[in-house]
Amino acid sequence: MKKTNNRSAAAGVILQGVSGAQGFAIGKASMYERSSLSVTVDRIEDDRRKQQLAKYRNAYSQVEKELQQMMDRQNDKNAEAVIGTQIAILRDPELDNSIERHILDKNQPADLAVQSAFDTFLSVMSGGGVSHEKGVVDITDVRDRLIQFLHGFDEDGITDGTILVAHELSPREVITCSEHDIKGIVMDRGGVDGHAAIVARSIGLPMILGTREATAKINKGDELVLDGQTGQVLMNIDAQSQDRYRELMKQREERLRDYLEICQKPNKTSDGLPFSLRANIEFEAELQTVKKYCAEGIGLLRTESIYLRRDFDDIDKQKSFYSTILKQTSPNPVTIRLFDAGGDKITGYESNDPNPFLGNRGIRWLLNKKELLMQQLRAICEVAANYHGLVRILIPMVSTLEEFKEVRNLLQQTQQELENEGISIDDNISLGIMVEVLNVALQADLFCTEADFLSIGTNDLTQYLLAVDRGNEQLSHLYDQRHPMVWRLIKNVVESAQEADKPLNVCGELASDPVSACGLMGLGITELSMNPAALPPVKKMLRQRSLSEMKQLATDLQHCQTISEVDNVYGEWKEK
């Protein structure tokens, strides 16, 4: 459904968001809003139950066919993988059975049964947390699509060649929109690690997220400029300013061509210090970009998608996933993070948690689900036997030494069981911890006595340090990973790791920013892991600067007291 505001946007108005996909776009705005869905609330008579079940089955088949055709049309593997996740949600046997039971046992009409079953599922999976995270958006979209087909209407048309403005889009909607040759997307909500943003980055579609008020401030037909570097949306700017952005678009195209050449060069600073750049990924499809930009392995392999697809009960599927990643990245290492459930992640096993970010999440959740944890450890160990020395296991959300020791004991128990069964193992698997809780960052020296390596997750570390929910768009101005205290905490971890001679890396978003990467190198961290698309610009800047320059940058950041001072330091660094 298209939406038009009654007021006109003033010339030169700027909306600030975050960049979900890099790039620039210039064009007229078109407004997109999902059709309002209402369901039948009246119960049906017994003799209508089979008819409503058949109606649901028909809608199910139509949605399945649509998603399968959409996946088959994709040339991009990331988009294909994300749509595959939606197909897996649709085919989830528990959901399907729940819908059938709502129709047959509770006499609900098909549309109400779909809404009831999905809403119960969403309530459980969100764990009381943020409702717009990537898995929840996917599930909601499948639910809404089923109801749309049950009601016999489709989404309204999308205007070709425009910049689409929406409250929020699912990955399926992003792909549908891209097939209308739109130039870019602006959204009120959404996160940079959401599936919609992943698809946009994969297909090269500029996207600005988290503006909060784009749909309220922008009208159909407004001239927009999307700045994927600053996360800004400019409205109705003058012709001279538009020309300047067209020149920036041209420069970016030239820069992208240069990236491939940069990535072929050695990972060394201007004065010869070697460094390692690795990739954070979740899907096999992302390996294309990993290879293109010459990442030295995987610094963070997220495994949550395994659980969203409900593949956790099938060890063979888990082994196949890990094997594919290792085979295509060998002889480089792969760090596999254990399933990170709770908080802003989703699970199908959790009752509502009144405070999910401080509740049953990460390793706490896994230790309460030992069968799932043991299944994952077994799958990893069996695959690691074929890739000696290349597999590292990372424990999420560790807050006590006891948690680490318990996981280590379970890993050793798993390895012993495999040996007893005559299955070979790699007894050199490194076991590390995510540094994302203040207790761990402040007592890094203690944790270094037990862990084989440390990996700093700056996303959650910043959240807990500043007491700011990183998913809360109303507080986004307070959430900044470059905060002076974040730098001081990182320095404390670096000193502890160096004294204990333990490997240390950063896998949070801070490593994806070129200037921040230089600051991390200046502190002594020579292994960084990031979104694959961030590898070329980070490598370019690291190669241009010397270690002495980076050490001075790190010192300057340590002396900052406010974000404004950090901004000044960053600005001066870029001007050098």
**Tokens 């001007």 sit on residue:** 575
Cα separation of 335 and 393, whole Å? 6
CB 127 within 8 A of CB 350: yes
Active-site residue 263, yes or no?
Answer: no
CA 387 to the chain's CA centroid = 27
**Residue 481, token pair as written in the block:** 């990973």
Active-site residue 477, yes or no?
Answer: no
Instruction: Check whether 57 is labelled as a binding-site residue.
Output: no
Q: Quick one: three-class SS letters along 133-185?
A: CHHHHHHHHHHHHHHHHHHCCCCCCCCCCCEEEECCCCHHHHHHHHCCCCCEE
Sign of the dihedral through C-alpha 506, 511, 516, 521: positive
- Report helix, strand and coil shares of the chain as percent, to nearest 5: 50, 15, 35
Phi, psi of 506 (to 5 degrees): -120, 130
Q: Which of 177, 263, 448, 507 is catalytic?
A: 507
The three-class DSSP label of residue 187 is: strand
Mark residue 378 as left, alpha or beta (left: phi above 0; alpha: psi -120 to 50; beta: remaining): alpha
Residues β-bridged to residue 25: 226
Cα separation of 193 and 195, whole Å? 7
The three-class DSSP label of residue 242 is: helix
Instruction: Check whether 64 is labelled as a binding-site residue.
Output: no
Instruction: Check whether 246 is labelled as a binding-site residue.
Output: no
Q: Quick one: three-class SS letters along 518-530?
A: HHHHHHCCCEEEE
DSSP state of 396: T
Cα separation of 520 and 493, whole Å? 12
**Residue 69, token pair as written in the block:** 């055709």
Closest CA to 294 of 323, 268, 265, 327: 265
Instruction: Check whether 143 is labelled as a binding-site residue.
Output: no
- In single-letter form, the type of residue at position 232 comes to Q
CB 208 within 8 A of CB 18: yes
CB 365 within 8 A of CB 145: no
Q: Which of 195, 381, 483, 560 is catalytic?
A: 195
Sign of the dihedral through C-alpha 243, 181, 3, 201: negative
The annotated binding site is made up of: 302, 337, 436, 459-460, 470
Which residues participate in catalysis according to the annotation? Answer: 195, 507
The annotated binding site for phosphoenolpyruvate is made up of: 302, 337, 459-460, 470
